[in-house]
Amino acid sequence: MSPNLSFLLTYAKRYPLQIVLTIILGLSGAVFNGVSTTLIVPIILTVLGQEVQIPTSAPLIRALVTPFDAVPEDYRLLVMGGAIVLAIGLKNLTTYLSGLVAGALSRRLTFDLRREAIKLLLEVDLDFYAKSRVGDLMNRLSGEIGRTSTAISILVQMFTVSITLFIYAIILEIGSLGN
């Protein structure tokens, strides 16, 4: 493992709750997005006057649409539309909460990195400060801390997207086993 990745993972391990929460919220947002997209197809077909035929080989789609079979035909379109609006609202809520958690993680990470940098600077001999320009040193240190914090945030986002894609691939594979 590269030293940079090892360094990033060392800091990321300090915040397991925020990272797991970000992953769960990101996955939930993706699921709500998939549900709303799946439910919109029968509504569009009904509006266009076409008969909605759900293939028996698509158990996931059938599982999403079957609960609406109990609703009377006159109200089915309205109830499905409400379910879509609810799913979109929940997706937006989870996306917003994921952003809040990721922002809090980034702030805490930046704070901890700055605290450790200051601690490191306080342990250095005075001779070091006599040979270097303190303003340039602080400016560079601040920039590096910001880049490190951003790198860890990107790492968490990439991990979240990877897990989401992996779970969707598994769901699609399980769904295609009915063929």
Per-residue pLDDT reduced to its tens digit, 29-63:
888 888 888 888 878 877 887 776 766 556 777 77
Per-residue pLDDT reduced to its tens digit, 92-104:
999 899 889 888 8
The contacts found for 60-66 with CB under 8 angstroms, 24 or more apart, are: 60/171, 60/174, 60/175, 64/35, 64/38, 64/39, 65/38, 65/39
Alpha-carbon distance 43 to 47, whole Å? 6
Between 61 and 119, residue with greater pLDDT: 119
Alpha-carbon distance 10 to 23, whole Å? 18
Per-residue pLDDT reduced to its tens digit, 121-141:
888 877 777 777 777 778 888
Q: Read off the amino acid at residue 10.
A: T
Banded pLDDT at 149 (limits 50, 70, 90): confident
- At 82 the pLDDT is 92
Alpha helices in the chain (DSSP H): 3-12, 16-47, 59-65, 73-122, 126-131, 134-176
Assess contact for 61 and 174: CB atoms under 8 A.
no
Alpha-carbon distance 57 to 174, whole Å? 11
- At 94 the pLDDT is 92
Encoding tokens for residue 92?
Answer: 């937006």
Q: What is the mean pLDDT of residues 145-155?
A: 82
- At 39 the pLDDT is 82
Give residue limits of the domains in the chain.
Answer: 3-176
Whether the model pTM is above 0.75: no
Alpha-carbon distance 22 to 10, whole Å? 18
Burial of 77 (0-12, 13-18, 19+ CB in 10 A): middle
Banded pLDDT at 178 (limits 50, 70, 90): low
- Phi then psi for 69, rounded to 5 degrees? -70, -25
- Supply the mean pLDDT for the chain: 81
